């Protein structure tokens, strides 16, 4: 499968997954792994929420791959406005319910095709960078750069790389079969339907270095468990 086909299948997967996406985030049904894990996961999400809060004020925000709104609703309270972009109208409809009353606009578009003259103080993306294939990494960050005002920030969270049995044990991703050599994951929905999607995990120091080669200054850290988070700017020192 070439990159174009993989990206198309990835879009189709998230459209089909929209009604069950939040089972993962909320740790319900097949993602429920008992009370201890549930508390640990909630603490991880709280630490992501605190991390975004620590970046306030965010000004005008473009959120890429906003999905069902789990990150949108963390961003919006600290933003003047959020433009929430996703390729799936199905996820954006769920997002709109969660963010009702907040200053959020929604746009359904493929990020690799979308163009805009608008500029933003912050370009944010949660659990999206790991779905950008290596072949599109440079193009993607070039787009992010064009959408930022001078001194603006790209901010992101994502899954931490799997190591040892941590990944299986801690994330319980029985719906996902990761192939590190291809940078893909085979995902299975509740109805048994399978899709191949992109999955490229980033170690914080490797990502910082890679972004530096593209002219970004980035600080990438991690929560105590499941996530990495980062701030990247072009040509300015970073104040978090
Ligand atoms: C892992 S989900 C993350 C959603 C959300 N940021 C969150 O953290 O809950 C990835 C999202 O990327 C969207 N997506 C996939 N391909 C895309 C593309 N080419 N352009 C824009 N969004 C895309 C999917 O529809 C899905 O909502």
The pLDDT of residue 94 is 98
Place 178 in a pLDDT band, splitting at 50, 70 and 90.
confident
- Cis (ω within 30 of 0) for the bond into 57? yes
The pLDDT of residue 205 is 97
CB of 184 sitting under 6 A from ligand 1 = no
The pLDDT of residue 10 is 98
Task: Give the rounded distance of the alpha carbon of 232 from its chain centre.
Answer: 15
- Structural domains in the chain? 3-161+201-234 (3.40.50.150)
Cα atoms in the 13 Å half-sphere on the side-chain side of 229? 21
Residues contacting residue 221 through CB under 8 Å, at least 6 positions apart: 204, 228, 229, 230
Summarised one tens digit per residue, pLDDT across range 181-230 is 899 999 999 999 999 999 999 999 999 999 999 999 999 999 888 899 99
Cα(32) to centroid of ligand 1, in Å?
22
Residue 240, pLDDT above cutoff 50 = no
Q: Are 127 and 159 in contact (CB under 8 A)?
A: yes
pTM: 0.94
Compute the distance between CA of residue 1 and CA of residue 17 in angstroms, rounded to an integer: 21
CB of 72 sitting under 6 A from ligand 1 = no
CB of 48 sitting under 6 A from ligand 1 = no
Residue 236, pLDDT above cutoff 60 = no
Provide φ and ψ at 127, rounded to 5°: 55, 40
Look up residue 144 and give its DSSP letter: H
The pLDDT of residue 57 is 98
Tokens of 139: 């193009």
Cα(180) to centroid of ligand 1, in Å?
20
The pLDDT of residue 211 is 98
Residue 173, pLDDT above cutoff 90 = no
As a whole number, mean pLDDT of residues 51-72 equals 98
Summarised one tens digit per residue, pLDDT across range 106-128 is 999 999 999 999 999 999 999 99
C-beta neighbour count of 237 within 10 angstroms = 6
CB of 87 sitting under 6 A from ligand 1 = yes
Tokens of 181: 């050599």
As a whole number, mean pLDDT of residues 2-30 equals 96
CB of 71 sitting under 6 A from ligand 1 = yes
């Amino acid at each position: 499968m070439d990159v174009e086909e993989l990206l198309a299948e990835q879009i189709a997967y998230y459209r089909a997954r929209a009604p069950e996406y939040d089972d993962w985030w909320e740790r319900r049904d097949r993602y429920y792994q008992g009370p201890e894990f549930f508390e640990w996961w909630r603490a991880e999400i709280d630490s992501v929420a605190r991390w975004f809060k620590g970046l306030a004020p965010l000004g005008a925000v473009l959120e890429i791959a906003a999905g069902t709104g789990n990150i949108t609703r963390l961003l919006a309270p600290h933003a003047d406005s959020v433009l929430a972009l996703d390729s799936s109208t199905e996820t954006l409809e769920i997002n709109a319910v969660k963010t009702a009353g907040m200053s959020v606009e929604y746009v359904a578009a493929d990020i690799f095709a979308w163009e805009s003259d608008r500029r933003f103080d912050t370009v944010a993306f949660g659990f999206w960078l790991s779905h950008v294939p290596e072949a599109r990494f440079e193009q993607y960050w070039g787009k992010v750069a064009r959408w930022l005002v001078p001194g603006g920030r790209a901010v992101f969270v994502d899954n931490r790389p799997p190591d040892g049995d941590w990944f299986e044990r801690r994330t319980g991703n029985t719906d996902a079969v990761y192939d590190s050599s291809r940078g893909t994951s085979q995902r299975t929905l509740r109805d048994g339907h399978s899709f191949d999607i992109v999955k490229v995990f980033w170690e914080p120091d490797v990502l910082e270095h890679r972004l530096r080669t593209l002219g970004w200054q980035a600080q990438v850290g991690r929560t105590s468990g499941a996530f990495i988070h980062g701030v990247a700017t072009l040509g300015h020192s970073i104040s978090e």
